[in-house]
Amino acid sequence: MDVKEIIKIIFTHPYIDKKGWIFKADVDWNKTEITIDNDDDNYIRWHDGIWENGKWYNGYWENGIWKKGTWYDGRWKDGVWENGVWENGYWEKGYWYDGIWEKGTWLKGNIYNPKTKQYEPSELPPNKCKWSLSYGY
């Protein structure tokens, strides 16, 4: 079974289908992998790809680019957050550009600094990091 077929199966899974998730995977489908966790089918794992818009409710984000949308809960392990609303969840590491950080657990990550035009390590979430474009949200 190829990756496209797996993605179709996963996104028609009853739990996920009712959530109305919208995504666009990387043009090279072989770089994008989404699987249902065997231990708990309420969780998906996202590997690579581009998330354009939609609602994320639970799961593991392991790499890729988040363009916009709303993150409600889950675990972010790596990747680039470009914009969107982070409602709650666990941020383990990755790159934050801009967006709204409501609440959640920020372990560590890199936040874009517009003055240096580089990502800088931060142990504070984007809404508390003074150089962040998201500071004060």
pLDDT tens digits, 7-38? 655 555 554 544 444 454 444 445 555 544 44
Decide if 101 is inside a domain: yes
How far is the C-alpha of 23 from the C-alpha of 105, rounded, in Å? 25
Task: Specify the residue for token string 């079974």.
Answer: 1
Pairing relationship of beta strands 33-36 and 85-86 according to DSSP bridges: unpaired
pLDDT at 54: 77
For the CA atoms of 98, 65, 55, 14, what is the dihedral angle to 10 degrees? -170
Decide if 68 is inside a domain: yes
Number of domains in the chain: 1
Decide if 136 is inside a domain: no
Residue 69 has pLDDT above 90, yes or no: no
pTM (predicted TM-score): 0.74
pLDDT at 25: 46
5: enclosing H helix or E strand: helix 3-10
How far is the C-alpha of 121 from the C-alpha of 54, rounded, in Å? 28
Residue 47 has pLDDT above 90, yes or no: no
Decide if 66 is inside a domain: yes
Q: What confidence tier does 59 reach under pLDDT thresholds 50, 70, 90? A: confident
Residue 132 has pLDDT above 90, yes or no: yes
Q: What confidence tier does 56 reach under pLDDT thresholds 50, 70, 90? A: confident
Residue-number span of the structural domain to which 44 is assigned: 3-122
